[in-house]
Amino acid sequence: MSKPKILVARAIIPATVARLEEHFEVEHNQADQPWSKQQLGHKLAGKVGAFTTGGDRIDAETLAAAPELKICANMAVGYNNFDIDAMTARGVLATNAPDVLTETTADFGFALLMATARRVTESEHFLRAGKWDRWSFDMFAGSDVHGSTLGILGMGRIGQGIARRGAHGFGMNVIYHNRSRLAPDLEAACRARYVDKDELLRTADHLVLVLPYSPSSHHAIGASEIALMKPTANLINIARGGIVDDAALAAALRDRKIAGAGLDVYEGEPKVHPDLLTVPNVVLTPHIASATVPTRRAMADLATDNLIGFLIHGKPLTPLNPEVLTR
Ligand code: GLV
């Protein structure tokens, strides 16, 4: 019997391709050729499954080119690259990769917070440029992390991981805002206090964004929200590009409306707003919050388990639109 055909849209861990090949006829992209959306649709034609990453857009147009497609397994916890309604309408299952990256991503959120507060990259650039010729009392003086107020916008699993690190590791006063308030036992475990968005913006010394992207979170942080923040505050975005209005943020950083920012995600990435590249008080990383060797392997394994679980055994692990399963 011939094996079901699947597409792996980007280069991934070779062992993952080998594991998929045990069960499927795999068309892969180990050369990591950039495909346009049209080319992706063309490649998906005749496939029943797709292994996707957060940059592979699956919407009505790509789905129309792939009438046999039954599942797209994302190697990412975020899934704003999927048009879930269009997928559900066509009976295509969507899965993501939650949990396996929670602690690694929370570690990175904290790394970016620390680097921003203590001006790590700015001072390294100074040193590498050969400008360090003496001690001075205010050289790269930043803000304290321990004992300060940590604000978290979006209190899912990663937000809670950051809260625990701040409260228990650094004695921070943790406040958060979320669509819904956490259960009391979770709030207690994070030592976090629920506040409204205005209070969060006004009070936080370090504000970390960890909310999912959706049309309703588009530019959740723009010029008017930044204007509420303390001039000494730092803004950290490890969530998704588009949640922050990057042009407004660059202008606020230039005008010292806030002290600094640490960004791992950008509107329209991998392009970065040119003004962000010219302001010194921002730490910039290329969307690597989940990038450790074991975590990337665990994410690839979970996407693979979803494809095998659904296409071979009829049981996916982390369905996003489970209503497709009952049709
Ligand atoms: C990374 O951004 C992810 O959503 O997994």
Residue among 56, 77, 107 whose CB has most ligand 1 atoms within 8 A, to mutate: 77
pLDDT given at position 27 = 98
* Domain count across the chain: 2
Confidence grade of residue 89 (pLDDT, cut at 50, 70, 90): very high
- The string of pLDDT tens digits covering residues 297-323 is 999 999 999 999 999 999 999 999 999
Q: Whose CA is nearest to atom 4 of ligand 1?
A: 78
Collapse the DSSP code of 51 into the 3-class scheme (helix H, G, I; strand E, B; otherwise coil) and give the result: strand
Mean pLDDT on 46-65: 97
- 218 shares a domain with 74: no
Q: Mean per-residue pLDDT for 45-55?
A: 97
- pLDDT over 90 at 34, yes or no: no
Determine if ligand 1 sits within 6 Å of the CB of residue 72.
Answer: no
Tell me how long the chain is.
Answer: 327
Statement to judge: residues 71 and 108 lie in one domain = no
* 147 and 242 together in one domain: yes
Structure tokens at 27: 């068309």
| Tokens read off for 300 | 């690839």
The predicted structure's pLDDT at residue 62: 96
Active site residues: 240, 269, 287
Q: Determine the structural domain holding residue 27 and report its residue range.
A: 5-100+293-326
Cα–Cα distance, 84 to 60 (Å, whole number): 10
Task: Calculate ∠ Cα 115-117-123, nearest 5°.
Answer: 60
At 176-227, the pLDDT tens digits run 999 999 999 999 999 999 999 999 999 999 999 999 999 999 999 999 999 9
Whether 120 and 47 share a structural domain:
no
CATH number at residue 308: 3.40.50.720
Report pLDDT for 70: 98
Determine the Cα–Cα distance for residues 150 and 172; give it in Å rounded to an integer: 6
pLDDT in tens, 139-184: 999 999 999 999 999 999 999 999 999 999 999 999 999 999 999 9
CA pair distance 124, 282, nearest whole angstrom: 13
Q: What percent of the chain has pLDDT over 70?
A: 100
Do 174 and 311 lie in a common domain? no
Share of the chain above pLDDT 90, in %: 99
Q: 296: which 2 tokens? A: 């990337």
Residues 181 and 279 reside in one and the same domain: yes
Ligand 1 center–CA 80 separation, angstroms = 10
Backbone phi, psi, residue 131, to 5°:
-90, -5
Q: Do 65 and 201 fall into the same domain?
A: no
Q: How far apart are CA 55 and CA 67, in angstroms?
A: 21
pTM score, whole prediction: 0.96
In angstroms, rounded to a whole number, what is the distance separating the alpha carbons of residues 145 and 166? 9
Residues 112 and 261 grouped into a single domain: yes
| Pair 208, 138 in one domain | yes
Q: Are 203 and 85 within one domain?
A: no
Verify that 117 and 260 share a domain, yes or no.
yes
- 155 with 267, same domain: the answer is yes
Could you tell me the CA-to-CA distances from 170 to 23, 141, 167, 223, 272 in Å, in that order?
47, 19, 6, 30, 32
Mutate to test the pocket of ligand 1, among 12, 53, 99, 105 (most ligand atoms within 8 A of CB): 105
Q: How far is the CA of 212 from the centre of ligand 1 (A)?
A: 10
